[in-house]
């Protein structure tokens, strides 16, 4: 994988895979006491293991802090690469209000860092080193595109908005993401529910379809951009955490130009204990 198109996107035919992965994964909490959640993920391309990722979330009252570590291994190590990110903010409303975001990504072509300061969900300071290469064919990025946004890591934080897990409203939402170089929406829609059994979790999951909608900062004529705009094969499965009204991603599937990428949870731990289903009742399977 060579270089970056944005701080959080590896350049390549897979398009904005990492940004989608990160932007398409709802992980949430708003707790009166401190809670720590650790989730490990395996990364796969066309069924072949290519790396791993770990997400740690600390939630206390309305405040949250998230940490992400990702690395390529196996066949993925042939091209090299790793990354990390941190985010912090509050969950006082139905969606995150980030206050700080930082990320680092490294490939064989070099390393890039991003720091972003936010006030009230508006990006007021952005530092990218080294700076992004200017491209004349990019859709212009204006100040309005930095308002009322969510950074790529905070975009994984989403509360259960109402009722039970099976409520379509827990899927039906738009996530306005700004990654320092581009502004895009991740539009989630309800697809159904199903039962799963994974290490650390056994029970119902909510299935959401996801659409990638570029807004600004992107290159509209790139084949990867057009492919992602037309992509109808993106989905995320969300598992609940009992008593926390938290939806945790258990699986993400994304069709790319070189095969289907999958992010699959391999371990869930909440305060060192196993995560258990919020409900044991059987739910209907997703529509196909």
Q: What is the pLDDT of residues 7-63, one digit of tens each?
A: 333 333 343 444 444 444 444 433 356 778 889 999 999 999 999 999 998 878 778
Percentage of the chain beyond pLDDT 90 is 51
CA distance 166 to 90: 25
pLDDT band at 119 (very low <50, low <70, confident <90, very high): very high
What mean pLDDT is predicted for residues 121-132? 94
Burial of 215 (0-12, 13-18, 19+ CB in 10 A): middle
The position carrying tokens 């056994």 is: 202
Residue 259 has a pLDDT of 92
Assess whether pLDDT exceeds 60 at residue 1: no
Residue 192 has a pLDDT of 94
The position carrying tokens 């990320």 is: 103
* pLDDT tens by residue, 143-176: 999 999 999 998 887 777 777 777 888 889 999 9
Task: Please answer whether residues 245 and 28 qualify as being in contact, where contact means their C-beta atoms are separated by less than 8 angstroms.
Answer: yes
pTM score, whole prediction: 0.80
Residue 76 has a pLDDT of 58
What mean pLDDT is predicted for residues 253-278? 78
Average pLDDT value for the chain = 80
Q: Which two tokens stand for residue 68?
A: 């992400």
* pLDDT tens by residue, 175-203: 999 999 999 999 999 999 999 888 878 88
Residue 9 has a pLDDT of 38
What mean pLDDT is predicted for residues 244-273? 84
Residue 136 has a pLDDT of 85
Annotate 161-205 with DSSP letters as a single string.
-SSSTT-GGGT-EEEEEE-SS-EEEEEEEEEEEEEEEETTEEEEE
Task: Please answer whether residues 151 and 131 qualify as being in contact, where contact means their C-beta atoms are separated by less than 8 angstroms.
Answer: no
Annotate 126-163 with DSSP letters as a single string.
EEEESPPPP-TTSPPP-GGGGSS-B-TTGGG--B--SS
Q: Which two tokens stand for residue 187?
A: 């539009």
């Amino acid at each position: 994988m060579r270089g970056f198109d944005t701080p959080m996107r590896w350049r390549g035919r897979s398009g904005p895979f990492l940004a989608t992965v990160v932007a398409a994964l709802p992980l949430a909490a708003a707790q009166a006491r401190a809670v720590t959640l650790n989730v490990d993920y395996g990364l796969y391309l066309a069924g072949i293991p290519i790396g791993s990722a770990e997400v740690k979330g600390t939630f206390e009252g309305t405040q949250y802090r998230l940490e992400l570590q990702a690395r390529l291994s196996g066949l993925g190590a042939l091209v090299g690469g790793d990354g990390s990110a941190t985010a912090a903010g509050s969950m006082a409303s139905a969606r995150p209000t980030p206050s700080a975001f930082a990320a680092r990504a490294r490939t064989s072509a070099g390393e890039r860092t991003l720091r972003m300061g936010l006030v009230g969900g508006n990006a007021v300071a952005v530092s990218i080193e080294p700076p992004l290469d200017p491209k004349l064919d990019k859709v212009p990025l204006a100040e309005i595109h930095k308002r009322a946004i969510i950074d790529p890591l905070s975009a994984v934080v989403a509360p259960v908005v109402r009722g039970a897990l099976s409520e379509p409203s827990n899927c039906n939402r738009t996530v306005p993401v700004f990654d320092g170089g581009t502004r895009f929406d991740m539009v989630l829609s309800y697809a159904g529910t199903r039962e799963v059994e994974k290490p650390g979790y056994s029970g119902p999951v909510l299935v959401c379809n996801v659409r990638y909608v570029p807004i600004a900062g992107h290159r509209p004529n790139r084949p990867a951009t057009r492919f992602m705009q037309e992509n109808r094969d993106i989905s995320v499965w969300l598992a609940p955490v009992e008593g926390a009204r938290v939806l945790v991603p258990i699986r993400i599937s994304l069709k790319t130009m070189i095969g289907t990428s999958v992010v699959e949870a391999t371990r869930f731990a909440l305060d060192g204990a196993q995560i258990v289903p919020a409900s044991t009742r059987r739910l209907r399977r997703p529509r196909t």
